[in-house]
Homo-oligomer: A and B are copies of this chain.
């Protein structure tokens, strides 16, 4: 279904920093012909996935998306369940906390609670995180079926900073360590100056369906702070899983208890 793929990829071009996109600009961004993009956008508009600003003629994400999100939240309230956990985690650690869910082979940020500190990590709403380059991603991979993890690691890993590890074998080692420890740490592998600590959120079946994480300015990180955040994040991950109706696997809970103690 290549046509559907292309149309849905158009929606990925929108983000917090680029909420409206004109026809020609979208054609350039997507690499598709302008006529094709126009037909796709009008089709998406008919279903409420985008809407056109009548003045500027630019397109933005549509109200139909809000409707679908409400339906999902009504029957499966992940965002609402996890938000209070994020707030407590942020309060406990004094840093920015966020949660993300697995969407395809990447993570989509679905909840953020910012630290009150003046120097804090800022995260854009709906940001996409790559599995190999973020603490959330490694934590997630650690509790995914290994064949899926291997497939992702072999699909070409992008470097985002000079610290991004793009070697599949080396990341597989990180993943195994994360599985043993119940958490993952990444030092500036996705964005400079950001240190991330994450633990997986579980879905029924014991596999990860997302992650909960704390992002700290890298310069602030010390061994002691790190250990304290790790314990809080792991506990928060357990609580988040519980709130969406899943008990974290026995092995994970043991690891967490060892840390908290």
Q: Is the CB of A108 within 8 A of B64?
A: yes
User: Is A224 in contact with chain B by the CB < 8 A criterion?
Assistant: no
For A109, what are the chain B residues with a Cβ–Cβ distance below 8 Å?
Answer: 67, 70
Instruction: Give bound CA distance, A126 to B205, whole Å.
Output: 30
Q: Which of A29-74 contact B (CB under 8 A)?
A: 39-40, 43-49, 54-55, 60-74
Minimal beta-carbon separation of A118 from chain B (angstroms): 22
For A20, what are the chain B residues with a Cβ–Cβ distance below 8 Å?
Answer: 75
User: Is A157 in contact with chain B by the CB < 8 A criterion?
Assistant: no
For A210, what are the chain B residues with a Cβ–Cβ distance below 8 Å?
Answer: 63
Candidate in A44, A55, A125, A210 with the most chain B CB atoms within 10 angstroms = A125
Instruction: Give bound CA distance, A3 to B44, whole Å.
Output: 12
Given A64-B103, A65-B69, A66-B101, also A46-B5 (CB < 8 A) = yes
User: Is A8 in contact with chain B by the CB < 8 A criterion?
Assistant: yes
Instruction: Give bound CA distance, A1 to B6, whole Å.
Output: 11
Given A4-B7, A76-B19, also A68-B71 (CB < 8 A) = no
A67 CB contact (under 8 Å) in B7, B45, B110: B110
Q: Which of A115-171 contact B (CB under 8 A)?
A: 124-126, 128
For A103, what are the chain B residues with a Cβ–Cβ distance below 8 Å?
Answer: 47-48, 62-64, 67
A104 CB contact (under 8 Å) in B48, B66, B68: B48
Q: Is the CB of B40 within 8 A of A60?
A: no
For A1, what are the chain B residues with a Cβ–Cβ distance below 8 Å?
Answer: 3, 7, 39-40, 43
Q: Is the CB of A68 within 8 A of B14?
A: yes
Interface residues of A (CB under 8 A from B): 1, 3-5, 7-9, 11-12, 14-16, 19-20, 39-40, 43-49, 54-55, 60-76, 78-79, 101-104, 108-110, 124-126, 128, 203-205, 207, 210
**28 CB < 8 A contacts A-B:** A4-B4, A4-B40, A4-B44, A5-B46, A5-B47, A8-B49, A14-B71, A15-B71, A19-B72, A46-B104, A48-B103, A48-B104, A54-B205, A60-B72, A60-B75, A60-B76, A62-B103, A63-B103, A66-B72, A66-B73, A66-B110, A67-B126, A68-B126, A70-B125, A71-B125, A71-B126, A73-B125, A74-B125
